[in-house]
């Protein structure tokens, strides 16, 4: 499958048309941003690692009945995906308190909770992806209540599958962000990526952070953390 016309450039990926109107090529870059673009840099080979990690995870999810936009990995940095119209929503799942929730509500990072927290944010760079609720999303025309219900159902399943997978490889899945889109048939599909850019992953034994917080918080050994995630996921395939 040949790369066609360039469609769009995001913070970590580029999108290209193909000769099939229902398929696109997603190209993974090494660029890293944090704080809605306030901090910019690159992580050596991140694109290669995130392409591989998303491939491994989306394949696993598909095997368990989750419909995703992923079709196949084409090479080191490119994957073939179904073309979808993305809901401008970041769906966030929290299993342990960390990050913006810890900060916003003054709760210590690492605090355990008995219930899973689902949040939605409006994908809008100008306003810093603000936290919204279902009623905002419906009022803004982002999704219907019915679509949100489906999105939460799929998200809960994904959380269970991911928690189990990461647990098996010695990693605690603290939180993560996913995105959904609709294909030309109107099916809701998991889209975007699931990588250390979009998840908080803590080593179960040492508590070491194996995710983009190493970049966000200048903790060093960023590439090594991503390499470790690829290694453990590959070994447990
Ligand atoms: O920053 P916050 O605590 O809200 O992030 C929750 C989770 O969502 C983290 O795993 C983070 O990596 C992910 N996230 C993301 N993209 C954003 C915001 C958050 O992948 N724009």
Q: Is 129 in the pocket of ligand 1 (CB under 6 A)?
A: yes
Q: Is 99 in the pocket of ligand 1 (CB under 6 A)?
A: yes
> From CA 36, how far away is CA 129, in angstroms rounded?
8
Instruction: Assign 1 a pLDDT band (cuts: 50, 70, 90).
Output: confident
Tell me if ipTM is over 0.90.
yes
**What pLDDT, in 10s, does the model give residues 216-234?**
999 999 999 999 999 999 9
Contact 125, 36 (CB under 8 A): yes
Cα 156 to ligand 1 centroid, rounded to whole Å: 17
In this model, does residue 5 exceed pLDDT 90? yes
> From CA 164, how far away is CA 39, in angstroms rounded?
32
Instruction: Assign 156 a pLDDT band (cuts: 50, 70, 90).
Output: very high
Q: Which atom in ligand 1 lies closest to the alpha carbon of residue 200?
A: 10
Ligand 1 pocket, mutate which of 13, 177, 178 (most atoms under 8 A from CB): 177
Element at 89 (helix H, strand E): strand 89-96
Contacts for 201 with CB less than 8 Å, ≥ 6 apart: 166, 171, 172, 173, 174, 209, 210, 211, 229
Ligand 1 pocket, mutate which of 39, 57, 92 (most atoms under 8 A from CB): 92
Superfamily, domain 87-221: ATP-grasp fold, B domain (3.30.470.20)
Cα 222 to ligand 1 centroid, rounded to whole Å: 17
Residues forming a β-bridge with 96: 112
Q: Is 176 in the pocket of ligand 1 (CB under 6 A)?
A: yes
> From CA 113, how far away is CA 115, in angstroms rounded?
6
> From CA 59, how far away is CA 71, in angstroms rounded?
9
Q: Is 177 in the pocket of ligand 1 (CB under 6 A)?
A: yes
Q: Which atom in ligand 1 lies closest to the alpha carbon of residue 103?
A: 3
- Per-domain boundaries in the chain: 6-82, 87-221
**What pLDDT, in 10s, does the model give residues 60-115?**
999 999 999 999 999 999 999 999 999 999 999 999 999 999 999 999 999 999 99
DSSP code at position 80: E
The percent helix, strand, coil of the chain (3-state, each to 5) is 30, 35, 35
Please identify, in words, the CATH class of the domain defined by 6-82. Answer: alpha beta
Element at 147 (helix H, strand E): helix 145-168
Cα 123 to ligand 1 centroid, rounded to whole Å: 12
> From CA 51, how far away is CA 41, in angstroms rounded?
18
């Amino acid at each position: 499958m040949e790369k066609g016309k360039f469609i769009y450039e995001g913070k970590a990926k580029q999108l290209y048309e193909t000769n099939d109107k229902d398929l696109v090529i997603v190209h993974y870059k090494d660029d890293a941003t944090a704080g809605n673009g306030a901090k910019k840099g690159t992580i050596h080979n991140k694109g290669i690692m995130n392409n591989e990690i998303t491939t491994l995870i989306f394949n696993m999810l598909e095997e368990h009945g989750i419909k995703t936009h992923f079709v196949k990995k084409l090479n080191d940095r490119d994957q073939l995906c179904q073309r979808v119209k993305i809901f401008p929503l970041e769906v966030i799942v929290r299993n342990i308190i960390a990050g913006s929730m810890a900060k916003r509500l003054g709760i210590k990072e690492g605090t355990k909770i008995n219930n899973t927290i689902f949040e939605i944010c409006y994908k809008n760079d100008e306003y810093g992806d603000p936290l919204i609720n279902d009623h905002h999303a419906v009022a803004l025309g982002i999704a219907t209540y019915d679509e949100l219900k489906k999105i939460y159902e799929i998200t809960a399943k994904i959380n269970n599958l991911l928690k189990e997978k990461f647990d098996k490889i010695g990693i605690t899945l603290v939180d993560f962000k996913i995105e959904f889109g609709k294909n030309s048939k109107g099916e809701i599909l998991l889209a975007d990526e699931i990588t250390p850019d979009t998840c908080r992953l803590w080593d179960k034994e040492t508590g070491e952070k194996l995710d983009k917080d190493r970049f966000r918080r200048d903790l060093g050994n960023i590439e090594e953390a991503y390499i470790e995630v690829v290694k453990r996921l590959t070994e447990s395939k």
